Amino acid sequence: MAEIANGNVASNMDPDSWAAPAALREARLQEAKSEKLNLGPYDVVHAFWLAGMSCDGCSICVVGATSPSAEMLMAGTIPGVPRVVLHHPVLSVEAGDAFVENYRMAERGELGAPYVVIFEGSVADERLAEKHGGYWSALGAEKLPNGQSKPIPTASWLSRLAPNAAATIAIGTCATWGGVPAAAGNPTGAMGVMDFLGQNYRSDLGLPVVNIPGCSPVGDNFTETVAAVLLFLQGLGPLPEFDELGRPAWLFQETVHQRCGRAGFYEEGLFAESYGDKECLVEVGCWGPVVQCNITQRGAINGMGGCMNTGGICIGCTMPGFPDRFAPFYKMPPGSLVSTNLSRVTGTFIRTLRRLTQQFQNRTTRWDDHVPSGWGNVDKPSFAKRLVHEVYEKYQFLGTSKPGSHVDKTGEDNR
Ligand code: SF4
Ligand code: SF4
Q: Which of 205, 200, 121, 206 is nearest to 157 (CA)?
A: 121
Pocket residue to mutate for ligand 1, from 307, 308, 309, most atoms within 8 A of Cβ? 308
Q: DSSP alpha helices (H): ranges in 249-305?
A: 249-252, 256-259, 263-267, 295-298
pLDDT digit string, tens, across residues 57-98: 999 999 999 999 999 999 999 999 999 999 999 999 999 999
pLDDT attached to residue 404: 81
Which is the closest atom of ligand 1 to the Cα of 260? 4
Indicate the length of the chain as a whole number: 415
pLDDT digit string, tens, across residues 271-299: 999 999 999 999 999 999 999 999 999 99
Model confidence at 30: pLDDT above 70: no
Mean pLDDT lowest among 26-30, 324-328, 336-340: 26-30
The residue whose CA is least distant from atom 6 of ligand 2 is 293
User: φ, ψ for residue 279 (rounded to 5)?
Assistant: -80, -175
Domains of the chain plus CATH, in order, are 3-251 (3.40.50.700), 254-404 (4.10.480.10)
Assess whether the C-beta atom of 260 lies below 6 angstroms from ligand 1: yes
pLDDT range class, residue 336, cuts 50, 70, 90: very high
21, 13 Cβ separation under 8 angstroms:
yes
Q: Half-sphere exposure of 247 toward its Cβ, with a 13 Å CA cutoff?
A: 22
Contacts of 300 (CB under 8 A, 6+ apart): 61, 218, 306
Assess whether the C-beta atom of 291 lies below 6 angstroms from ligand 2: yes
pLDDT attached to residue 35: 43
- Tell me the residue type at 229: V
Assess whether the C-beta atom of 272 lies below 6 angstroms from ligand 1: no
The residue whose CA is least distant from atom 8 of ligand 1 is 257
Assess whether the C-beta atom of 281 lies below 6 angstroms from ligand 1: yes
Assess whether the C-beta atom of 117 lies below 6 angstroms from ligand 1: no
Mean pLDDT of 399-405: 87
| Top-confidence residue, 160 or 16 | 160
Q: How far is the CA of 132 from the centre of ligand 1 (A)?
A: 46
DSSP code of residue 244: T
Mean pLDDT of the chain: 92
Model confidence at 8: pLDDT above 60: yes
Assess whether the C-beta atom of 214 lies below 6 angstroms from ligand 2: yes
Assess whether the C-beta atom of 293 lies below 6 angstroms from ligand 1: no
According to DSSP, the residues that pair with 212 across neighbouring strands are: 171
The residue whose CA is least distant from atom 5 of ligand 1 is 263
The residue whose CA is least distant from atom 7 of ligand 1 is 282
| This prediction's pTM | 0.87
pLDDT attached to residue 38: 37
